[in-house]
Amino acid sequence: MPEQNDDSFKNMNLKDKVLTVIGIALLIILVLGFVFGIYYFGFVGIFELLGVQYQSFSSLAIFVVCFFILGIFVDLFFGAMAKVAVENETGRVKSFCIELLLAFTSNWLVLFSVDAFMESITLSLKAKLIVSFLLALLEVIFDNKKKSSLLQREL
> In angstroms, rounded to a whole number, what is the distance separating the alpha carbons of residues 64 and 75?
15
Read off the pTM: 0.76
Tens-place pLDDT, residues 112-139:
999 999 888 888 999 999 999 999 999 8
- Do the domain assignments include residue 50? yes
CB 111 within 8 A of CB 128: yes
For the stretch 11-54, pLDDT in tens is: 788 888 889 899 999 999 999 999 889 988 988 999 999 988 88
Q: How many domains does the chain have?
A: 1
Q: Is 83 helix (H, G, I), strand (E, B) or coil?
A: helix
Query: Does residue 2 belong to any structural domain of this protein?
Result: no
How large is the angle between the packed helices 125-154 and 92-117, nearest 10 degrees? 140
Distance CA 61, CA 67 (A): 10
Domain-located, residue 3: no
Domain assignment of residue 4, yes or no: no
Residue 115 belongs to some domain of the structure: yes
Domain-embedded: residue 65: yes
- The full DSSP string for 25-67 is HHHHHHHHHHHHHHHHHHHHHHHHHHT-EES-HHHHHHHHHHH
Residue 31 lies in a domain: yes
Q: What is the pLDDT of residue 91?
A: 81
What range does the domain containing 93 cover? 9-154
